[in-house]
Amino acid sequence: MTNRDDLSSAAKHKLVEAAARAKVPLDTLPYESYKSPSGEEFKLYCRAKSDMDAKTLKWTFKLAEQNVGPFYKQLKMGWQPKIKHSELNKNWARFLVAQNQQKQPVAYTMFRFDMDGGDCVLYCYEIQIAPEYQRKGLGKFMMQTLEACARLWKLEKVVLTVLNNNYNSLTFFKALGYTKDETSPDVLEEADYQILSKSMLG
């Protein structure tokens, strides 16, 4: 199906609900390993928040604090650790985690299946990669895995939010084909972030 305009809101909700019910929504996809151009190998796993161990959840917060905390601190909203901690502990959260050869977590993305602006979407709330493991193609592989997941469950697009002052992230997502979504704040709203998306149709 290449055009979802004919689908009713109820039908779109059913697509989201079907994906959300799956214990491992990536189960039929080849996502469990990635080899970087330099030959470094990574193992990946996907789990619901309820199946994540406390130590790894604590690590996700620390990595987010390290990677994006400085960008938040430059903005009016500032870095709000309680809010970020709460976001990472939502019961609906799904995590795709990458481990290095020593079985240490080095990258993760947190996502959910949702309705957004009338569309059925996979919403990527967070993708964080430890600094020493960036620029190895791992982030690109993880985003492509989320896109494959969205297509598998017949969702319309992948959506994410990026801070305006995080230029490296904006460049990264735009290189992957993400553009400003119609739900992104208007220039007059003077928001500190923008919403990007990529269609999974066609």
Q: Are 88 and 70 in contact (CB under 8 A)?
A: no
What CATH number corresponds to the domain at position 120? Answer: 3.40.630.30
Q: Are 155 and 121 in contact (CB under 8 A)?
A: yes
Instruction: Dump pLDDT digits (tens) for 8-52.
Output: 999 999 999 999 999 999 989 999 999 999 899 999 999 999 999
Report the domain count for the chain.
1
Within a domain: residue 2?
A: no
Within a domain: residue 3?
A: no
pTM of the model: 0.93
Domain carrying residue 169 = 9-199
Instruction: Dump pLDDT digits (tens) for 41-96.
Output: 999 999 999 999 999 999 999 999 999 999 999 988 888 889 888 888 888 999 99
Within a domain: residue 100?
A: yes
Instruction: Dump pLDDT digits (tens) for 126-181.
Output: 999 999 999 999 999 999 999 999 999 999 999 999 999 999 999 999 999 999 99
User: Which secondary-structure segment (H or E) carries 186?
Assistant: none
Dig out the tokens for 85 from the structure: 């901690």
Q: Are 36 and 137 in contact (CB under 8 A)?
A: yes
Within a domain: residue 160?
A: yes
- Where residue 114 falls (left for φ over 0; alpha for ψ -120 to 50; beta otherwise) is beta
- Going across the sheet that includes 105-116, the strands are 33-35, 41-48, 94-99, 105-116, 119-129, 157-163, 193-199, 179-180
Helix, strand, coil shares of the chain as percentages rounded to 5? 35, 30, 35
DSSP per-residue letters across 116-129? ETTEEEEEEEEEEE
Within a domain: residue 149?
A: yes
Q: Are 16 and 114 in contact (CB under 8 A)?
A: yes
Within a domain: residue 1?
A: no
